[in-house]
Amino acid sequence: MLKKRTIIISNRLPIRIEKQHDTLEFLPSEGGLATGLGSIYKQDDNIWIGWPGYIPENENEKILITEKLAEFNLIPVFLTAEELEGYYEGFSNEILWPIFHDRLPYAIFDKEYWRLYKQVNQKFCEATSQQQLTLKDEIWIHDYQLMLLPQMIREQHELISIGYFQHIPFPSEELFRCIPWRDEILSGLLGADIVGFHTYNDTKNFLNSCLQILNLPNTNNSVISRDRQVFVEVFPMGIDFDKFDSLAQTEAVQKKANEIKNQFKDLKIILSIDRLDYSKGIIERLQGFETLLQKHPELREQIVLYMLVVPSRDTVPQYKALRDEIDRMVGHINAVYGFNSWTPIAYFYNSFPLENLSALYVAADVCLVSSLKDGMNLVCKEYIASKAHRLDGVLILSELAGAAKELTDSININPYSVDSIASAIHLAIHMPVDEQRKRMKKSVEIVKKFNVFHWVKIFFNRLREVKTRQKKHTTR
């Protein structure tokens, strides 16, 4: 008898391939998605389909990689340099990413990008179909790189279960309609049975686009498309709470955290961690920090902004310009406000091992997230989990990050207002310990309960419910 399989599909496989002296090394990914889905795709005949993050040099290497990945239940979709440039760097990162993060002027509507985006989605569809799909299989597609894939698979497998989850926000209909290929993108997504987002606002924007652009009205968060009911729902993603909680309590992390605290002795540490991206509000954060130092000279030599920016997409002009502007502002603030041996900002443009990240979360008095737009933001949840054993620390969270809808006991900021950022930091560093513990306790409960495993569970439960309901309708 054929067994039920779960098929995960995302742009990247949860693995990194590195070539060291003619030998390929396969390194597991530590990302949130890989952790959440790890217990699923590694089981039985389940599989994960995606780009392995490496362009093979010849056919032999392709075969070797395919065979090796099969041992981990991973199926590679190999992409050429041209496809990566057009589909990933181009369409995904220079059209969808800016529009979905409210940066219309950054979008480059290049037809060639669109051609390659369609071509690669088709390649993913072929790789999926090659797996001899049956009606028992459940497919879960992830994120904006694969928005055409649900409908492509649907055309070949009319009744199969397909879920789609988008990790980034969905923009307003006015913004979304600027994309020349908006109809095709919406139709692509409507091939799924469930289209999931982090927040209610994203579902509203998506449903409104279906209404205004495709003339498809909605009832009870669902749309009828080609005689099928497609559900559009909220699934806020969580983290592996226990992993961050227990890592924070290890001897190695505690030792590192103490070293950080000693390095910044008598200073309140305000921590920020993000990928280099214009959506993360890094410039606004620096302006807010400078405003604080101007308004409150008494805080000089009492605080430090520990800012870790992880390199990302820095060959793209906007990202390079952002990086230069950060360098300039950090230099300016440190030069103007620095005093004696005190430097206001400790800035790192680098990627740290997870243990160091954990030590930073443990050592930080405040975690500052100032995204101008963020699907969810996992950094703030990791900070909360790392504080669970002591319940000290304060989270300052942008009201424009998806996480703000859940973590209502944080200090909320409007990241576009430098005064809002400055007064939030002021409030955070003066918050009495009792108040910190009260707020942190509530946040810990939320992050612990709605963890990544819960997220995976509720998504699949809902997909099964929806499918059962559809079957009842068709057999009536």
Binding mask 272-291 for ligand GDG (x = CB under 6 A): -x-x----------------
Which of 9, 192, 378, 424 is close enough to bind ligand GDG by CB under 6 A?
378
Which of 377, 410, 436, 443 is close enough to bind ligand GDG by CB under 6 A?
377
Q: Which stretch binds ligand GDG (CB under 6 A): 9-17, 152-160, 255-263, 378-386?
A: 378-386
Q: Does the protein bind ligand GDG through residue 348 (CB under 6 A)?
A: no
Q: Does the protein bind ligand GDG through residue 195 (CB under 6 A)?
A: no
Q: Which stretch binds ligand GDG (CB under 6 A): 9-17, 37-45, 106-114, 351-359?
A: 351-359
d(CA 264, CA 333): 18
Q: Does the protein bind ligand GDG through residue 379 (CB under 6 A)?
A: yes
DSSP string, 340-388: TTB-SEEEEES---HHHHHHHHHH-SEEEE--SSBS--SHHHHHHHHTT
Which of 190, 237, 271, 363 is close enough to bind ligand GDG by CB under 6 A?
237
Q: Which stretch binds ligand GDG (CB under 6 A): 50-58, 132-140, 370-378, 448-456?
A: 370-378
Cβ pair 141, 163 in contact under 8 A:
yes
Closest CA to 97 of 152, 88, 209: 88
Q: Which CB sits closer to ligand GDG, 29 or 249?
A: 29
d(CA 2, CA 8): 18
Q: Which stretch binds ligand GDG (CB under 6 A): 44-52, 83-91, 132-140, 347-355?
A: 347-355
d(CA 242, CA 448): 8
Q: Which CB sits closer to ligand GDG, 230 or 239?
A: 239
Q: How many CB atoms lie within 10 A of CB 299?
A: 17
**What would the two tokens of residue 377 be?**
């933001």
Q: Does the protein bind ligand GDG through residue 376 (CB under 6 A)?
A: yes
Q: Which CB sits closer to ligand GDG, 83 or 374?
A: 374
Cβ pair 361, 261 in contact under 8 A:
no
Size of site (CB under 6 A) for ligand GDG: 19
Closest approach, Cβ 330 to ligand GDG, in A, equals 17
Q: Does the protein bind ligand GDG through residue 367 (CB under 6 A)?
A: no
Q: Which CB sits closer to ligand GDG, 176 or 278?
A: 278
Q: How many CB atoms lie within 10 A of CB 173?
A: 18
Reduce the DSSP state of residue 75 to 3 states and report it: strand
d(CA 87, CA 115): 8
Q: Does the protein bind ligand GDG through residue 357 (CB under 6 A)?
A: yes
What's the N-to-C CA distance of the chain in angstroms?
27
Reduce the DSSP state of residue 291 to 3 states and report it: helix
Residues that bind ligand GDG (CB under 6 A): 30, 32, 167-168, 237, 273, 275, 310, 351-352, 354, 357, 374-379, 382
